[in-house]
Amino acid sequence: MNKKKGMGLLARQQAAGWAFLTPATLLIFVMSFWPMVRAFIISFQTGSAANLKWAEPVTKNYQRMLQDKMFQTAMGNTFLYLVIQVPIMLVLAILLAQLLNNKDLKFRGLFRTMIFLPCATALVSYAIIFKSLFATQGLINSALVGIGILKENYNFLGNPASAKAVIIIALLWRWTGYNMVFFLSGLQNIEYSVYEAAKIDGANAWKTFWNITVPLLKPVIVMTGIMSINGTLQLFDESVNLTNGGPANTTITMSHYIYNNSLGQGVANFGYASALSFIVFILVAVLAAINLKVGDTRD
């Protein structure tokens, strides 16, 4: 009798669990997985949004990418931002976390808040702020001319190289503090006795950092690396609001180009835009898998 009651209780607990999980599971499927499946189907179609039909051949949209110079430019720009910005950002985040984890540092809370605040700024707002700062008549130009570094105002956003540099600087300003929080959390989980033992053994600050801190932070480094790669490959707001892809589309990103093909320029070429988005999805998955493989310390 007790056994039957116990089994009944277990069944009720399982039923309650499924009752809570089912609505969330259905929402995730409807809002995430089904759109992905639908987009994959559309990537093999062509025509206007109201008159989609199967492409001839069905791989037409994917073949078009191989000849699309603009997409190649967008991909090159995105990977340029990725290769330069992500390593610099993660190194700065680790160093700042190491500095602000010092228990003897005064006003640690204030400094942490100040460095973290940029990531709480709205994406559109901070892009507009940087656009104003680096405008031809903006604060940066005024300061550089005032101290004699520049003889006259320079059009930062009108030159391809400097416009890309402005985007990278903006990304560093906004996201370094965000990643710093993860490294701070990781550092606070490292026992202080480990550092004391290293100090007794005669290890200097650099050896302690490289041989103790970095290996123990490896899971956090992998996680922040994957998130940063994922975010950079989908970079959109900075390209749209800071440079609008200019000058002459030399700073456009892959997500910006997908937007232009679907909604941004009135083309509504959803078939080609969907194909482009799946290439981005594959790139994110491949780079995340590589990052996980490199960071896997299991035997």
Distance of alpha carbon 79 from the chain centroid = 12
Return all residues near 22 (Cβ < 8 A) that are at least 6 apart.
Answer: none
101 and 243 share one domain: yes
At 64, is the secondary structure helix, strand, or coil?
helix
Return all residues near 235 (Cβ < 8 A) that are at least 6 apart.
Answer: 78, 81, 171, 253, 254, 255, 256
- Report if residue 263 sits inside a domain: yes
225 and 271 share one domain: yes
35 and 74 share one domain: no
Return all residues near 175 (Cβ < 8 A) that are at least 6 apart.
Answer: 89, 118, 119, 228, 231
- Report if residue 176 sits inside a domain: yes
16 and 95 share one domain: no
CATH of the domain at 199: 1.10.3720.10
How much is the pLDDT for 1? Answer: 47
166 and 235 share one domain: yes
29 and 101 share one domain: no
Catalogue the E-assigned strands of the chain.
Answer: 45-46, 53-54
- Report if residue 237 sits inside a domain: yes
d(CA 232, CA 77): 11
Q: Identify the domain containing residue 22 by its residue range.
A: 2-42
- Mean pLDDT per block of 10 residues along the chain (299 residues) reads 58 84 89 87 82 85 90 93 94 91 82 87 86 90 90 91 93 92 87 79 80 85 89 90 88 92 77 89 86 66
- Report if residue 48 sits inside a domain: no
- Report if residue 29 sits inside a domain: yes
37 and 108 share one domain: no
Return all residues near 221 (Cβ < 8 A) that are at least 6 apart.
Answer: 90, 94, 214, 295
6 and 150 share one domain: no
At 45, is the secondary structure helix, strand, or coil?
strand
d(CA 133, CA 141): 8
State which amino acid sits at residue 142.
Answer: S
183 and 109 share one domain: yes
- Report if residue 11 sits inside a domain: yes
- Report if residue 75 sits inside a domain: yes
What is this structure's pTM? 0.84
- Report if residue 51 sits inside a domain: no
Number of domains in the chain: 2
86 and 9 share one domain: no
10 and 121 share one domain: no
16 and 123 share one domain: no
